[in-house]
Amino acid sequence: QVQLVESGGGLVQAGGSLRLSCAVSGGIFSIATMGWYRQAPGKERELVAGITKGGTSNYADSVKGRFTISRDNAKNTVYLQMNSLKPEDTAVYYCNYRFVGSVWGQGTQVTVSS
């Protein structure tokens, strides 16, 4: 059974940085597509960034140039480095594992104050 555990969320001032981590157990991490999604109050969950098994990444337009997704296959972990944070980045951030199905983490809160 695949399990995802996110960490690294918190409260930060606008312009600050945070790094989210998502540790994966029970799956074949190295061949899974990994993604970070977020959901703000009253809004639908949206893709923030994704990374394939080969390391190809894609980003939502709203975070391009500010966020970077990366993966460490030796540690079964995917990261989201978030710089120049804005209040509109405030949301619960979820990690997603996709390989013959989809598994979600429990989410981590990111709050950016103005």
Q: Is 60 helix (H, G, I), strand (E, B) or coil?
A: coil
Sorting pLDDT into bands at 50, 70 and 90, what band is 27? confident
16: burial class by Cβ within 10 Å (0-12, 13-18, 19+)? middle
Q: Are 29 and 37 in contact (CB under 8 A)?
A: no
User: How many CB atoms within 10 Å of residue 6?
Assistant: 22
* Mean pLDDT for the stretch of residues 36-47: 97
**What's residue 51's pLDDT?**
98
| For residue 2, pLDDT beyond 90 | yes
